[in-house]
């Protein structure tokens, strides 16, 4: 709630409490998810180095416990962080791994989010041959799920198709 409102100090305070509790009770999945959220706070603040540290720790825990579903949002967030840092190739690697995991685990939300983000990036890089099908896949999933981001995906598709 505080995170969504942009109250990062308050959000960080509660995430730190959550992290302490997760560690205290041995909830590794909760620990990984909370580290991912803390990474997002640091990203929103523009502290990309600290954000990456938290995301890497989250990913490490998810790998350690075999939480493939938990790896998807962390890899997705890492990809966006790499884009912010101008590391496009590294971002694409993270997107590819996240999309593969989403498909393997039949995680529709993960497939939608990663397909959308990766499709947009590829189209922006001029690779519409690979980017547009990903956006179309995201749109199809979004419609099937009744996802609130459908209009945004449609707008991106129109934009990139009109550029041809």
**100-151 tens-digit pLDDT:** 999 999 999 999 999 999 999 999 999 999 999 999 999 999 999 999 999 9
146 and 101 share one domain = yes
Q: Which residue is listed with tokens 């409102």?
A: 5
Residue 117 domain flag: yes
pLDDT confidence of residue 156: 97
Residue 73 domain flag: no
Predicted confidence (pLDDT) at residue 2 exceeds the cutoff of 70 = no
pLDDT tier for residue 3 given thresholds of 50, 70 and 90? low
pLDDT tier for residue 5 given thresholds of 50, 70 and 90? confident
Residue 83 domain flag: no
pLDDT tier for residue 4 given thresholds of 50, 70 and 90? low
pLDDT confidence of residue 30: 96
96 and 29 share one domain = no
At residue 59, the 3 state secondary structure works out as: helix
Q: Indicate the angle between helix axes 108-124 and 128-145, nearest 10 degrees.
A: 150
15 and 53 share one domain = yes
- For the whole model, what pTM was predicted? 0.93
Residue 84 domain flag: no
61 and 102 share one domain = no
Number of domains, the chain: 2
- pLDDT one-digit tens code per residue, 19-35: 999 999 999 999 999 99
Q: What CA–CA distance (Å, rounded) separates 35 from 17?
A: 11
99 and 157 share one domain = yes
- pLDDT one-digit tens code per residue, 33-59: 999 999 999 999 999 999 999 999 999
Q: Which of 23, 51, 66 is the last residue of a domain?
A: 66
Give me the domain span that covers residue 5.
1-66
Residue 72 domain flag: no
Instruction: Give the burial class of 46: count Cβ atoms within 10 A of its Cβ; 0-12 exposed, 13-18 middle, 19 or more buried.
Output: exposed
CATH number of the CATH domain containing 98? 1.25.40
CATH number of the CATH domain containing 29? 1.25.40.10
Q: What CA–CA distance (Å, rounded) separates 104 from 87?
A: 26
Residue 135 domain flag: yes
Q: Which of 66, 100, 119 is the last residue of a domain?
A: 66
CA atoms lying within 13 Å on the CB side of residue 146:
0
Q: Are 121 and 83 in contact (CB under 8 A)?
A: yes
Residue 1 domain flag: yes
Residue 82 domain flag: no
11 and 59 share one domain = yes
Q: What CA–CA distance (Å, rounded) separates 111 from 95?
A: 10
- pLDDT one-digit tens code per residue, 59-106: 999 999 999 999 999 999 999 999 999 999 999 999 999 999 999 999
pLDDT confidence of residue 164: 67
């Amino acid at each position: 709630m505080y995170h969504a409102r942009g109250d990062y100090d308050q959000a960080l305070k509660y995430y730190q409490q959550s992290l302490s509790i997760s560690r205290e009770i041995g909830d590794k999945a909760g620990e990984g998810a909370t580290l991912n959220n803390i990474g997002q706070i640091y990203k929103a603040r523009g502290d990309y180095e600290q954000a990456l540290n938290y995301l890497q720790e989250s990913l490490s825990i998810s790998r350690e416990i075999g939480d493939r579903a938990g790896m998807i949002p962390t890899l997705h967030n890492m990809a966006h962080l790499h884009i912010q840092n101008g590391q496009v190739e590294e971002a694409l690697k993270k997107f590819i791994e996240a999309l593969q995991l989403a498909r393997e685990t039949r995680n529709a939300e993960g497939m939608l989010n990663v397909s959308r983000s990766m499709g947009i990036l590829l189209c922006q890089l001029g690779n519409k041959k690979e980017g547009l099908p990903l956006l179309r896949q995201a749109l199809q999933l979004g419609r099937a799920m009744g996802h609130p981001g459908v209009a945004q995906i449609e707008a991106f598709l129109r934009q990139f198709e009109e550029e041809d």
